[in-house]
Amino acid sequence: MTPLTRITLDPDVMGGKPCIRGLRNTVGTIVGLVAAGRSISEILAAYPYLEEADIREALSYAAWRVEETEVPINK
């Protein structure tokens, strides 16, 4: 997988949720808009400071997270 350079995690921004370039737009918001049927052009019109690459990377990040496996640690 190519490195994700547009997704940031900062505990001081949106409670540490993954965001786009440190902005207050979460990956979840972008993925939710796509899931609701919004096109990339509609999302960019609603959030003009975002770029198409931001949306594509948000989708890539979400796909990666869904495939990630968490292993419990036995204490």
What are the residue boundaries of the structural domains of the chain, listed by start? 7-65
The 10 Å Cβ neighbour count of residue 56 is 13
In this structure, what token pair is assigned to residue 34? 């796509």
- Secondary structure (DSSP) of 18-53: -EETTSS-BHHHHHHHHHTT--HHHHHHHSTT--HH
- Report DSSP state, residue 70: -
- Residue 33 CB neighbours (<10 A): 19
Residue 62 pLDDT class (50, 70, 90 cuts): very high
For residues 44-70, average pLDDT: 92
Better-predicted residue by pLDDT, 2 or 37: 37
pLDDT of residue 1: 63
In CATH, 7-65 is 1.10.10.10: yes
16-25, 30-39, 60-69: which range is least confident on average? 60-69
Q: What is the pTM of this model?
A: 0.84
